[in-house]
Amino acid sequence: MRALLQRVSQASVRVEGELEGSIGRGYLILLGVGPQDTEETAAALWQKILKLRLFEDAQGKTNLSLGDVGGAVLVVSQFTLYANCRKGNRPSFTEAGDPQTAEALYEYFAQCVRQSLGTVETGRFGAMMEVALVNDGPFTIWLDTDQLF
């Protein structure tokens, strides 16, 4: 599983011009699912994200977690995180998980967030989406479960 985690002051996602989800301060998580991923992978990735200390304390040090600051989460499915650009000029996406399994794990990941925070905003799996954000910092972290666990 791969996540591009961005600390934001605000973020939103639209589908066909309609607002699908939006947050204020928190994390925009672009989430890609690979063929070997499981519910255990999703839960472990969320726990890692939940505990990361990416928010500044009174001294300007990144010592605070999402929960410490009462932050929100917007999760957007992003199979393109599995793009393979080694050959030619057109990315291949054959390394991404199959859509049915990926959707189930995307929904499970969102459920993990909801269980921890009480709420989660999401995009719509498989839809063409317009994502807007104000990256706070900027602060962007790349997480790949193959390298984390």
Q: Could you list the active site residues?
A: 78-80
- Dist. CA 5–CA 29, nearest whole Å: 5
Indicate the residue type of 109.
Answer: F
Cis upstream peptide for 35 (omega within 30°)? no
Any idea what the Cα angle at residue 61 is, between residues 59 and 65, rounded to 5°?
Answer: 115
45 DSSP 8-state letter:
H
